[in-house]
Amino acid sequence: EEQLVESGGLLVQPGRSLRLSCATSGFNFRDHAMHWVRQAPGKAPEWVSGINWNSISLGYADSVKGRFTISRDNAKSSLDLEISSLRREDTAFYYCVKDAFNFWSGGRFESWGQGTLVTVSS
Amino acid sequence: DMQMTQSPSSLSASVGDRVIITCQASQDTRNYINWYQQRPGKAPKLLIYDASNLQTGVPSRFSGSGFGTDFTLTISSLQPDDIATYYCQQYDNLPPGTFGPGTKVDLK
């Protein structure tokens, strides 16, 4: 069974930094692009960032470009998201998502973690 | 940027009813549309990919159709387990994850 388990979400002040992690199992991690997708309470999901299977190509939503950094470790089957200069509008559940394809522009989100909540508030 | 709209925004139906949800893209997306189901308090789940292909394990009462800018998700016979919010998502244009605003399905 495929598992994606996020961690690292918490209550943080505006302007601070945070690192989210995702541990995966049950599938061949290095065969798939991976993404972070967030969802503010009561809103539709919003794609945040994606990374190719080999980490050579990365993609970011305009709203997070320059503040978020995605990375992966194929040896550990893990995905990370480094978030800096947090804003109130970054408050959301952050989901680790497996793509059906090995390139991040593939965009077929076939497996999701349970999400980790990031709350940005003073 | 690509914009996605869905209608209705919410609906109430009885068990056994046929339910149809529509999704419209602001630009041609060919057939690069996915549909997701999100039950309350849970993560989204892929139901349909490439507009009309059923994801493995999804009940056959779900089906999708459409091409270009207009798409539909149909539940042939609504079940209590189908109470959820449904989202369409395009992935023909970047960014890859442009979602519609969602359609909430309740039991009448």
Residues of A in contact with B98 (CB under 8 A): 47
Give per-residue pLDDT as tens, A65-106: 999 999 999 999 999 999 999 999 999 999 999 999 998 888
Give per-residue pLDDT as tens, B18-58: 999 999 999 999 999 999 999 999 999 999 999 999 999 99
With an 8 Å Cβ cutoff, is A9 touching chain B? no
Residues of A in contact with B49 (CB under 8 A): 100, 108, 110
Helix (H) or strand (E) segment spanning residue A73: strand A68-73
**Full strand arrangement of the beta sheet holding B4-7:** B4-7, B19-25, B70-75, B62-67
- B96 or B12, which is more confident? B12
Q: Residue B59: is the preceding peptide bond cis (ω within 30°)?
A: no
**Predicted local distance difference test score (pLDDT) of residue A105:** 83
**Predicted local distance difference test score (pLDDT) of residue B22:** 98
Contact flag A112-B44 (C-beta cutoff 8 Å): yes
Q: Which of B42, B96, B101 sits opposite A44 (nearest CB)?
A: B101
User: By C-alpha distance, which of B30, B13, B1 is closest to B76?
Assistant: B13
* Cα–Cα distance, A50 to A81 (Å, whole number): 10
Contact flag A59-B55 (C-beta cutoff 8 Å): no
Residue of chain A with shortest Cα separation from B5: A44
Phi, psi (5° rounding) for residue A29?
A: -55, -45
**Predicted local distance difference test score (pLDDT) of residue A107:** 87
**Predicted local distance difference test score (pLDDT) of residue B97:** 80
Give per-residue pLDDT as tens, B1-16: 889 999 999 999 999 9
**B71 pLDDT above the threshold of 90:** yes
Contact flag B101-A110 (C-beta cutoff 8 Å): no
**Among residues 69-98 of chain A, which lie with CB inside 8 Å of chain B?**
95
Length of chain A: 122
Residues of B in contact with A109 (CB under 8 A): 34, 36, 44, 46, 89, 97
**Predicted local distance difference test score (pLDDT) of residue B1:** 81
Residues of A in contact with B101 (CB under 8 A): 44
β-bridge partners, A93? A39, A117
With an 8 Å Cβ cutoff, is A104 touching chain B? yes
pLDDT (average), residues B79-92: 96
Q: Are the CB atoms for B94 and A47 separated by under 8 Å?
A: no
Q: Are the CB atoms for B43 and A95 separated by under 8 Å?
A: yes
Give per-residue pLDDT as tens, A16-58: 999 999 999 999 999 999 999 999 999 999 999 999 999 999 9
Residue of chain A with shortest Cα separation from B87: A44
